[in-house]
Amino acid sequence: MLSRLAAVFFLGALSALHTAVAQDVGDDMEQDISESSEGHQREELGVNETTAPPIQKLLLDLDSFQPIPMKLVESNDLNASFPNRFQTAMHFGSIVADGFVIVINERPQSIQNLGRALLRQARALGVGDSLTKRAASLIDLGQRGDWPKLREELIKTQAAVEAAMMNLHDEEMAHLISFGGWLRGFQLALNATADNYTPQRAGGLSKLDVMSYFIDRLDTLNPRLKQTPLVSLLLSKLKTIYNISSKAGERPPSQSEVKDMRDLVNEMEAAAMSKADDKGNLDIRE
């Protein structure tokens, strides 16, 4: 379900889609060498089927949470900029998460804004060159209303960024991009479920393996980053969400539990997008 956004945006589909991406360079030998190298990199990053389910599956799962609150999607400040790479990486992931919802709801103007925003954030992360053509393609497809190809292009976009981050050997940023995408998707799913609760929808929210994965990723950040107020807040609230979901056991979370988790994830997303300095010190106005 949508809560399995985990690493799917940036650590999910490269192997399955590598042939399509490699056609841009058109060299089969280079493809074989690259696939082998990327396989080792993915192993080092802890990528597996649990944390990186097929992105096509994700697109189908998103439909089960409809209607997604579009006001929440539109509240994401696409022009936001941050003085630290932690928040920049998370924001990139959140924009891609919103992109899947925008595609499902077929909003061409939003796609144009999203393509430009992805390019700006990629440049801030130092991988803008890898995304220039993809961003232009997203905008063009949005103008033409070619929604099936837009889905494919979003997949290729995340694959291009994943490859760029791996080439930079920037493991932490790769994880944080994935975490940002998962957190935003989880927020959208929780808000949608809280607004229109059914046990069936709530049952798709309890993915303890994915939560555990990201708790571990935050727990193993370098000490300087882990000790910042921002990361401490995110880790604490994510552990609380995990505990609530864990107590539900095999049953779907109750309406009250869903609302509690929604409030916590809203606070997490607000912190991730709040003003913080380059040391992760928060400036959150209550």
Q: Is there a contact between 65 and 189 (Cβ–Cβ < 8 Å)? A: yes
- Look at the chain and report how many structural domains it folds into: 1
Contacts of 131 by beta carbon, 8 Å cutoff, 6+ apart: 118, 119, 122, 157, 160, 161, 164
- The pLDDT > 90 percentage for the chain reads 26
Domain encompassing residue 51: 2-283
| Residue 32, token pair as written in the block | 């074989």
More confident residue, 37 or 83: 83
pLDDT tens for each residue of 219-255: 988 888 888 899 999 999 999 999 999 998 889 999 9
Please give the helix or strand (H or E) that residue 234 lies within, else none.
helix 229-248
Task: Tell whether the model's pLDDT for residue 36 goes beyond 70.
Answer: no
| Residue 216, token pair as written in the block | 């571990």
Residue 154's pLDDT band, with cuts at 50, 70 and 90, is confident
* Cis omega (within 30 of 0) for bond into 229: no
Q: What is the pTM of this model?
A: 0.79
d(CA 144, CA 142): 5
Backbone angles phi and psi of 253, in degrees to 5: -60, 140
Q: What is the bridge-based pairing of β-strands 282-283 and 275-276?
A: antiparallel
Q: Is 97 exposed, middle or buried (0-12, 13-18, 19+ CB in 10 A)?
A: buried
pLDDT tens for each residue of 43-102: 454 444 444 444 455 555 667 788 888 999 989 998 898 888 889 989 988 888 888 888
d(CA 48, CA 53): 8
